[in-house]
Structure 1
Amino acid sequence: MEEKMIDCQNVSFKYDSSSENDSKLAVDDVTFQVKKGEFLAILGKNGSGKSTIAKHMNALLVPTNGKMYVENLDTSDEKNIWNVRNKAGMVFQNPDNQIVATIVEEDVAFGPENLGIDPKEIRERVDDCLKKVNMYKYRKHAPHLLSGGQKQRVAIAGVLAMRPHCIIFDESTAMLDPSGRREVMNTIKEINDSYNMTVILITHYMEEAAKSDRIIVIDEGKIAMEGTPRNVFSQVEKMKKLGLDVPQITELAYELKKSGVNIKSDILTINEMVNELCRLK
């Protein structure tokens, strides 16, 4: 049986509201599991509840109703919080909020130092994690001199150095330019592929979600769609009804099909599109 990294069981969450009649749930009876080593993308328009769900995965929030388990640890049990956060690291939208030191390697060492790790091992972890995110040559640099993408990769190295079993990226590419986004996405994919680490990616970018194993679409606090990227993105009209886009190449395939071209509707990459168009000749 495949082991579960995250087990979300009928979770509902309500932010405390000042007005009595505002009883809207931010998360409404959501159930899903994430297998160890899986790359899951969570999509949803602003205010859909996707970041609220993410914050439950490392006990920044605890369910109003239902249960969230991280490697079988109940996140609502205060005794588990430290362990939950060690198992599930989180990388946020703004790297500046996550970088605490004035030199890159000191920043990456900050987490392991707080865990009480032996200094010799910290040195090894820092070098190893900076190499993993292609930032080793910047280890003596000041973080504030780096580009947004480089800062975000340092933030990822800082989380990796704590050896979590799972990393949650909460819109971690939202503030970056396209090349910074590409750098960070390559790093995320590498972490998942090479180290078999569980990755949960909350994103607005459909091209990023297309690289995942599975997608969950959240709408008004509920799961509206779930499946492989190919399965979810081929449902163009349903996605648009939910206020979301699909990858540009999938949309192009959809429009071509609509105009009578005999083409597959579940195309995700430019190469697949080229192959389909060559087939038509």
Structure 2
Amino acid sequence: MKNNMVECKNVSYKYENNEDKTFNLALDDININVPKGEFLVILGRNGSGKSTFAKHINALMIPTTGNVIVDGLDTLDENNVWTIRNKAGMVFQNPDNQLVATIVEEDVAFGPENLGVESSEIRKRVDDSLKEVDMYDYRKHAPHLLSGGQKQRVAIAGTLAMKPECIIFDESTAMLDPLGRSEVINTIENLNNNSNMTIILITHYMEEAIGADRIIVMDEGKVINQGSPREVFKEVEIMKQIGLDVPQMVELAYELRKSGIDIKSDILTIDEMVNELCRLK
């Protein structure tokens, strides 16, 4: 379907355990469609398959069985790989691993230069991308002197300069402090809201999922739950059974309900909690 950015059809992925030559199933017959313009969050504990899924979208991994289609292109066809990687950019956990130059604007220009984009267009892409992530004023700075959140925003700008239609964030806030995480999540939400960019965010931080259009919960290579943040997080027992937390306000509502207080089970934010508590007076 043309309105899907990503289609995963019966995708399984096995990798060999080198020690005993057994095979582990990292993805187990998953079917996931990601419509264009969606902000999708993937949640799951370590080893759930979420990062393996992310790497399939960018053709860094190829399914053992099944098909991953990115904007109509099958990742199994080697001729599609570079086109797919231009369409689906990736931002990883450690920004230092994605920064290659000594000046911010040179770093952002690196990708388009490798694509053979002409210099006047590169200049425009660099400026536009840095403005998009609110780092234009730092274009002459050395990346290693920036904060973690600023470095990650430069890494995002470098991805944006390649003109992708979708960006996959593979635990891109995991190494950042709360301020840096907030900066990056604000940038991600702005890209989705203002540029209609398809966003796939893989995270351990439940609060980052509140603003998503949809959440997919993975465990042991399978999709075990999906829906809006409200629908997914109110299933507190399911989340706890697989070793995941829920946002603080969801947890508080859950505990209050267990104590016999008649309060909504799908509260997500502090404002909603305040309103609900005031209603109880």
TM-score of the superposed pair, with normalisation by structure 2? 0.98
Residue in 1 aligned with 2:238? 238
Residue in 2 aligned with 1:5? 5
Q: Structure 2 unaligned runs (5+)?
A: none
Residue in 1 aligned with 2:48? 48
State whether structure 2 residue 179 is matched by structure 1 residue 175: no
Residue in 1 aligned with 2:191? 191
C-alpha displacement at 1:156, in angstroms?
0.2
* SS, match of residue 15 in structure 1: strand
The 5-angstrom pairing of residues 1-281 of structure 1 reads 3-19=3-19, 22-281=22-281
Distance in 2 separating the partners of 1:21 and 1:222? 23
Distance in 2 separating the partners of 1:264 and 1:13? 40
C-alpha displacement at 1:20, in angstroms?
5.7
- Report the AA paired with residue 87 of structure 1: K
C-alpha displacement at 1:19, in angstroms?
5.0
Distance in 1 separating the partners of 2:89 and 2:120? 22
C-alpha displacement at 1:77, in angstroms?
0.8
- Report the AA paired with residue 205 of structure 1: Y
C-alpha displacement at 1:121, in angstroms?
1.0
C-alpha displacement at 1:261, in angstroms?
1.1
Contact map agreement 2:2 2:72 (CA 8 A) in 1? no
Distance in 2 separating the partners of 1:19 and 1:100? 35
* SS, match of residue 25 in structure 1: strand
- Report the AA paired with residue 192 of structure 1: N
Stretches of 4+ aligned residues off by more than 3 angstroms? none
Contact map agreement 2:45 2:204 (CA 8 A) in 1? yes
* SS, match of residue 68 in structure 2: strand
Distance in 1 separating the partners of 2:118 and 2:275? 53
Q: 1:258 to 1:65 in 2, by over 3 A?
A: same
Distance in 2 separating the partners of 1:257 and 1:269? 16
CA RMSD of aligned residues (A): 1.0
Distance in 2 separating the partners of 1:184 and 1:163? 19
C-alpha displacement at 1:211, in angstroms?
1.3
Aligned residues: 281
Deviations 1:148-206 (A, max 9, x none): 00000000000001110000000000000000000000000000000000000000000
C-alpha displacement at 1:260, in angstroms?
1.2
- Report the AA paired with residue 81 of structure 2: I
C-alpha displacement at 1:2, in angstroms?
6.9
* SS, match of residue 26 in structure 1: strand
- Report the AA paired with residue 275 of structure 2: N
* SS, match of residue 76 in structure 1: coil
Q: 1:53 to 1:217 in 2, by over 3 A?
A: same
C-alpha displacement at 1:254, in angstroms?
0.7
Distance in 2 separating the partners of 1:214 and 1:238? 17
Deviations 1:123-160 (A, max 9, x none): 11111110110101000000000000000000000000
- Report the AA paired with residue 202 of structure 2: I
C-alpha displacement at 1:116, in angstroms?
1.1
Contact map agreement 2:17 2:24 (CA 8 A) in 1? no
Distance in 2 separating the partners of 1:126 and 1:200? 23
Identity %: 70
Distance in 1 separating the partners of 2:277 and 2:136? 43
C-alpha displacement at 1:21, in angstroms?
5.8
- Report the AA paired with residue 268 of structure 1: L
Distance in 2 separating the partners of 1:171 and 1:83? 24
